Amino acid sequence: MIAEHRPRGPFREGDRVQLTDAKGRLHTTTLRAEAELHTHKGVLRHADIIGQDDGSVVTNSAGHTYLALRPLLRDFAMSMPRERRSCTRRMPRRS
């Protein structure tokens, strides 16, 4: 069986965190001690998240709450930018 490495314990600097607001909107970011997440609903300091357990509820400067979770692999994959490809069909040459 392959051992799966999943971070455990409280959030640390450098961890990825997925914040979910009351309407279900997702904000994924990497935690840095001096950084802040700015949304149209206020500012959330990363220092307020560092040291909290996975599944904690954190509050931003305007009083709005967010659920802080570690993102799953599928969440990470879905947030990656997709490659654009041209879908034009080649027309055969006329003789």
Domain boundaries, the chain: 16-71
AA letter at 90 = R
Residue 61 pLDDT class (50, 70, 90 cuts): very high
Mean confidence (pLDDT) of the chain: 84
Per mean pLDDT, which range of 23-32, 44-53, 67-76 is the poorest?
Answer: 67-76
Strands (E), the chain: 16-20, 26-30, 36-39, 42-45, 56-59, 65-69
CA–CA separation, 79 and 73 (whole Å): 10
pTM of the model: 0.72
State phi, psi for 68 to the nearest 5 degrees: -100, 115
The architecture that CATH gives domain 16-71 is Roll (3.10)
| Closest to 35 measured CA to CA, from 11, 56, 71, 57 | 11
Name the β-bridge partners of 17.
29
CA–CA separation, 1 and 60 (whole Å): 42
